[in-house]
Each structure stands twice: as structure tokens, then as C-alpha cells.
Chains A and B, each alone.
Chain A
Amino acid sequence: MQNDMPVLEIKDLNVQRNGVAVIENATLTINRGDYVGIVGPNGGGKTSLLSAALGFLPYTGGSIRLFGVELASFSLWDKVAYISQHATNFEDQFPLTVRELVSLGCIQKGKLGRRFTQKDWQVVDSNLDFMGLSDVADRRIGQLSGGQKQRVFVAKALAHNPELILLDEPIVGVDSNAQERFYKKLSDLNVERKITILVVTHDLASVFCRMSKVMCVNKTVELAGITPELDANLLLKRAYGEHFHFVYHRHDCTGVFVNEH
């Protein structure tokens, strides 16, 4: 697949929740290999936009295409992984180990009910290793820290070898060090495995230091490439309001991240 092939194309999209417009006339294109931070005020429609793109929330106008196919007829869902903002809100008592949860990512459409082979478990273990979870593989998921829980869900997503990962605010209740490590891991995935990543986040520093594009969502949607010429402050003011002020210098990024070279 070519690098500039569109993974997600949205045209003149309108989305409503309970009769109220939450996304208006959104048009954007996400290409293969993009690492996009989705930002914007609470209630601005970030989750609604993702939900619509995944077909969870019906839209009232416009069009959505995934991998070049109209959403209504899109069927290659094994290319897509989604981690919802509720993913880590499971009960601590849920009887599932880290390895078992990640193995659920090996379930394949069209091959339901198949027995897992040694190869499946190898995939599970290598992704646990990649996400730095080998040590806790046999622990119950309820015993993990916030940061580990997020990585488990990414490992689960990776188990079915997706080309696009959508993460909705996976960082709530995680300390800033773990948060930085997490975005670094996503960056590795983006670079090493060419996985397109869209992540809803409130961590603006990570977006501008780490990612290739920023998407501002507040009913309207604005997508911009993160380049030295980009006036981040102006862009964010349009989404968050005039009072908003974001101080950001590109050279500040060095050292922001743990393990940064």
C-alpha cells in the first residue's frame, strides 16, 4: 500500500446526538502513516466524530470512507482497532489475565469459534513483549496500574494486526511519566509498523512534539500538519476560544520524553 493512500476520508459530515448538532460540515483526509492528535474542549464532539467514523453513531449528512470504501459497505474491520474511553473502566474483579485479554485480539472475523494455535499465542506474547508487559502477563487485569492497562489494550489491538488504531482519551488517571512513555510507544508503532494512529488527547505538548498532524474539534473540524511554520496558538484558539493560550516551542520537545534521543 502506498504512503499517501487515504485511510479515512470524511466529507461534509454532519453528526447529531439527541437532535443536537455535534459535528458540522467536517471535511478531512487521514493518510496512511499519519499520527494524529485529536484535541478540543470537552463536549466538542471528539468522541462523536470517532463514533461516527466507526459506524456506532449514525450521521445526518456527508460521507465517510474507510480505506477507500464507503462506511456502509466497509467490511474489512480487522484492519481497524478501536480503544474506547471506557475500555479501562472494567471491574477490578473481572476474571481475566493480561495474556487472556490480549489473546481476545486474535479472534478473527469469519473464523469465529476456531481453536487458538501456537502461532496465536506467539503473536500474543510478542505483542506483550513489544508493549513491555511480559512481566505482568499472568497477572489479572484488575491488578494493573493505569498506564499498564492502556498498554494492554493496545497490545490486544495489535494482536489482530490492524492498519489503523483509534484511541479515545486513553490517558485518564495516568501520571505524566507513564503518559509520555505511552505516546512514545505509539510513536514506535507508527514508525516501525506503519500503523496509522488517531488519538483523542488533552496532552497538547505530546501532540505538537510527537505527532504528525493535529485535529482540532469543536463542532467544526480543522486538520493541520505539524510543521515548524504552524501557528499552534492561533489554531488552538479557534477550537478552545480566544482566552486560550498555548506556549509551545519546538525545541522544548527535546527532553520532554523519557528515552528521547
Chain B
Amino acid sequence: MNIEIFNPFAYQFFQNAILGGIIVALVCGLVGLFLILKKEAMLGDGLSHTAFGGIALGLLLGINPLITALAVSVLAVFAISYMRRKKIAPSDSSVAVMLAIGFSTGLIIISLTGGFNIDLFSYLFGSILTISFSDLLLVSILGAIVLLFICIFHRELLSMVFDEESARIIGIPTKRFTILFDLLIAITIVLSIKVIGTILVVALLVIPGLCALKLNLSFKKTLLATTLFSTLSTTIGIILSAIFNIVTAGFIVFILATAFLLTITYKKLE
């Protein structure tokens, strides 16, 4: 009997997917960890839903929707930051308002252009297996920028997240760093759209960091554990989705959730 084992690694599209997936997982995990420590995890969710408006706009205008999503996310994160700083609304409410504005704008545009289609569907739920070369290039460049920034300035970011006042005294330009970090979040969201889609981005942002935090490690080891959780879940998710032909985002989040359950069970038993 001749059994043919499906080996996805033999295909270029699959290699691209794994590469893109790993970059996005690294970026999401690390940025997400800082977001959790800042207690602003839902900022990621709010921005990704706002980015939906940008995607719709891109589809309407015939521009790469990732570019328009990036523009809208950057605008949104600055708007949220502004509302917070000027005390127009508390942090979580500012996020809720931007989420609503972005998503509703997206809905109006979609209705105007004749409703939902496959293209839009792929941005809502991700389509890493069909990532184009140009999108992979965009993901790699933006991902490298975010990773480089975090590698160089992780201590400054940590110091700010831990205690902003004393960080400022020590000489960290906290306002500028906050703006830069906001920019990084917006970029991260847009990167993740291709992999996991706007709806579930928050899972890839939050769950890896949360799992790592449960292990009570040092900061350095927490960073490492976060990247392990995010890259492994994403890689396994992509492989399973290629084999079973099921939406990748669903698998990735399912594995992340399982990892989270296993971590808390392990801590309970310990």
C-alpha cells in the first residue's frame, strides 16, 4: 500500500505562512506583554476593530487594505491617547468610543460597496496561508522595526510601565516613549490582521503574555516564555490548519486557550 503523507513544508505558500506567522507571533507576544503590564490589554482589541474601518476604506479605494488599516490605527491610537491625556474620557471608554467609530465606519463603507465578500472575510479572520509576497515583505519590515525597538529599549519601556514618575526623573522622555509605543501597537495590530484577523488579534496579544506571567519568572525569562508561547501556538495552529483545511485563526486561538488552561492547571497543582 502506498500511503502519501501530506507534507505542507514542501510548499512555498506554507513556508511563507510559517515565516509570516512567526514574525507576527513574536511581535504580538512582546508588545502584548507590555500592554498587559500597563493594564491596557483592551487597547489592542479596540484598535483592531477600528482598523476594520481602515480595511473597508482600502477595499473601497483599491489601495492595499493593510496600508489604510495602518493609517486608521495610528490615527485611532493617537485619538485615544489624546482623550486620555486631556481627560475627555477614561482610558477604557476612549477605547470603546474609537472601536465603535472605526467599526461602524467600516460597516457603512461595506454596505455602500455591495456587502461582504471573500476579501473582507479574509481580513476579519485572517488568511495567513494565502499571504502574498508583498504582504509578507510588509510584515517582515514592520515586524523588524517593532522587534528592534523592543530589543533596544526594553529596559526603558519596563521602567515606564513599572513606575512612570520615577522613569521620568531618571531621564526617560516618557511622553515621547508613550507616543512611540502607541505607534508600535498600531503597527502590531495591522501586522496581525493577515495572520489572525481583526476579530481575534487580542488573543495573540494577550494570551501568550498571560501564560508567561502565570509562571512567576524574572522579567527576562518572562519575555522568553512569552515568545515561546506565541510562536509555538501560531506555528502549530498554522500546521494544523493546513492539514485539516480549517481557518487558521480558529486553531491558533484554540491552542492559545488550551495553553492558558494548562498553565493555570499546572500552577494550581504545583
Contact = CB atoms under 8 A, between A and B. Distances in A.
Interface of A: 54, 56, 77-78, 80-84, 86-87, 90, 93-97, 100-101, 103-105, 107-110, 112-113, 116, 138, 140, 160
Nearest to A90: B162
Main secondary structure of the interface of A (DSSP, over half): loop
A87 B213 contact: no
Given A82-B169, A140-B218, A107 B163 contact: no
10 contacts: A83-B166, A96-B218, A97-B218, A97-B219, A107-B156, A109-B172, A112-B171, A113-B156, A140-B216, A160-B170
B249 to A, nearest CB: 28
B112 to A, nearest CB: 46
B163 A113 contact: no
Given A83-B166, A96-B162, 11 more contacts: A77-B170, A80-B169, A82-B166, A90-B163, A95-B218, A96-B219, A107-B171, A109-B170, A113-B152, A116-B155, A138-B218
Assign chain B's interface to a size class.
20 to 34
Contacts of B153: 112-113
Nearest to A140: B216
With a 10 A CB-CB cut-off, give which of B37, B158, B166 has the most chain A CB atoms.
B166
B87 interface: no
Contacts of B222: 95
B217 interface: yes
Q: Lowest 7 A-B CB distances belong to which pairs?
A: A109-B171, A95-B222, A113-B152, A97-B218, A104-B159, A82-B169, A100-B219
B171 to A, nearest CB: 2
Nearest to B214: A93
B213 A93 contact: yes
A107 B165 contact: no
Given A109-B171, A112-B172, A93 B216 contact: yes
With a 10 A CB-CB cut-off, give which of B162, B169, B213 has the most chain A CB atoms.
B169
Given A77-B169, A82-B165, A112-B172, A107 B219 contact: no
Contacts of B213: 93, 95
A106 to B, nearest CB: 8
With a 10 A CB-CB cut-off, give which of B158, B171, B220 has the most chain A CB atoms.
B171
B162 A107 contact: no
Nearest to A157: B166
A95 B218 CA distance: 5
Contacts of A96: 158, 162, 218-219
Contact of B159 (A97, A107, A138): A107
A100 B220 contact: yes
A95 B169 contact: no
A56 B216 contact: no
Contacts of A107: 155-156, 159, 170-172
Nearest to B151: A113
Given A83-B166, A104-B162, A113-B153, A78 B216 contact: no
Interface string B206-225: 00000011001111101000
With a 10 A CB-CB cut-off, give which of A81, A93, A107, A110 has the most chain B CB atoms.
A107
